[in-house]
Amino acid sequence: MQKVSEKVIARARELMHDGTVSKVVGWKAGEFFYDCEPNVFETEESLKDLVYNRFCGANLSKYMIKNSIASGGEGAGKVLVLLKPCDTYSFNQLLTEHRIDRENVYILGVGCEGMCDIDRIRERGFKGITGVLEADSGNELVITTLYGEGKVNIDDVLLNKCDSCKGKAHKIYDELISDNEDEGPRGDRFEGVRELEAMSPEQRFAFWQAELSKCIRCNACRNACPACSCRKCVFDNNASGIASKANTDSFEEKMFHIIRAFHVAGRCTDCGECTRVCPQGIPLHLFNRKYIKDINDFYGEYAAGEEAGQRGPLISFTEQDIEPGHAVVKGGN
């Protein structure tokens, strides 16, 4: 990771310096070292803040809508974007939907060995964390704290979205800096969905009631989601009846999440940003994965963003499609 990181930062500087690109969309450290946030670097000088480490979980694809379109014009130069393997799916999906001007983008594919969740590190009892370093060997991280050092297994502290991995292969790039070999997908991403499906309707209802009642309608899931890129969002319409917060006598929270997941059904690449950004820790990926699983079961395997230009399952049909009444039974629950 350390090696890749150094190479990525050096290469970004180089591309900016020789004028190949005029902007870099990458990550910079926030208030704390683990608060890496997306940032647009417009000058060579500002690139000193560019970082790439275990806490760069944010998917930068969505930022390319604004940055690729706005950077058009003669001699404006391209925009460099750093994409991890799973981020390239979202990028492809946005290309499919004609939301990104590919001509203005220079994609630097960056290798990824899984991103870490600071909360999961804290859960393992570390207090006063001052740094997270790669151990010299093995699958471990060294956590330095005010009170000493400790080691954790990387697999125990990955982000939720990295628990299962789509694979280390970039689906689209102009240049690649990675020393991982693609080992294919890892983990069963539908495990959580299957667990819920095995419950009784009452248990499922209780589960979602408990989870969704935490929702504060901050819209972070929508704002971070690369598939939620409509210029005008249905949830911004005050008259829609689902735009208010803390409406205590309605079905709003559930409706919001069902509708949001439905709007991205067939377009969701399962990048896991919704769950990562949720301040309340709601497992929103379970909605998206349910739709993905259903689409796979009913209409054949489909991975949104696998390649640009695919026709999504909800904008196509066959004459022999499953009937909704049967679908509910076949859905496994």
Partner 1 sequence: MSVNVSVNEPAVKAAAENAAGANTENKEWRPRIVAFCCNWCSYAGADLAGSSRLSYPADVKIIRVPCSCRVNPMFILKAFERGADGVILCGCHPGDCHYSTGNYYTRRRMALLFSMLDYIGVERGRTRVEWVSAAEGARFSAVMNDFVAKITELGENVKVGDLRCKK
**Can you give the binding site for partner 1, defined by CB under 8 A?**
196-197, 201-209, 212-213, 234, 240-242, 247-255, 258-259, 261-262, 265, 287, 290-291, 294-295, 298-299, 313-315, 317-319, 321-325, 327-329, 331, 333
| Residue with Cβ nearer partner 1 (87 or 294) | 294
| Shortest CB 194 distance to partner 1, Å | 11
| Residue with Cβ nearer partner 1 (43 or 237) | 237
Which tokens hold the place of 144? 């330095």
Q: Which amino acid is at 266?
A: G
3-state secondary structure at position 291: helix
Sheet containing 129-134, strands listed edge to edge, beginning at the edge strand earlier in sequence:
129-134, 140-145, 148-153
| Residue with Cβ nearer partner 1 (43 or 247) | 247
- Per the rule left: phi > 0, alpha: psi between -120 and 50, beta: everything else, 116 is beta
| Shortest CB 11 distance to partner 1, Å | 42
Tell how far CA 11 is from the center of its chain: 24
To 10 degrees, the CA torsion angle through 263, 266, 272, 277?
Answer: -10
| Distance between CA atoms of residues 242 and 222, nearest Å | 14
3-state secondary structure at position 204: helix
| Shortest CB 282 distance to partner 1, Å | 12
Q: Are 120 and 156 in contact (CB under 8 A)?
A: yes
| Residue with Cβ nearer partner 1 (31 or 249) | 249
| Shortest CB 304 distance to partner 1, Å | 14
Report angle CA 33, 16, 26 to the nearest 5 degrees: 30
| Shortest CB 250 distance to partner 1, Å | 6
The β-bridge partners of 144 are: 131, 149
| Distance between CA atoms of residues 315 and 265, nearest Å | 11
| Residue with Cβ nearer partner 1 (66 or 217) | 217
Q: Are 309 and 173 in contact (CB under 8 A)?
A: no
| Shortest CB 311 distance to partner 1, Å | 13
| Residue with Cβ nearer partner 1 (10 or 328) | 328
| Distance between CA atoms of residues 35 and 28, nearest Å | 8
3-state secondary structure at position 17: helix
| Shortest CB 297 distance to partner 1, Å | 9
| Residue with Cβ nearer partner 1 (38 or 192) | 192
| Residue with Cβ nearer partner 1 (144 or 333) | 333
| Shortest CB 305 distance to partner 1, Å | 19
Those residues with Cβ within 8 angstroms of residue 262's Cβ, 6 or more apart along the chain or in another chain: 291
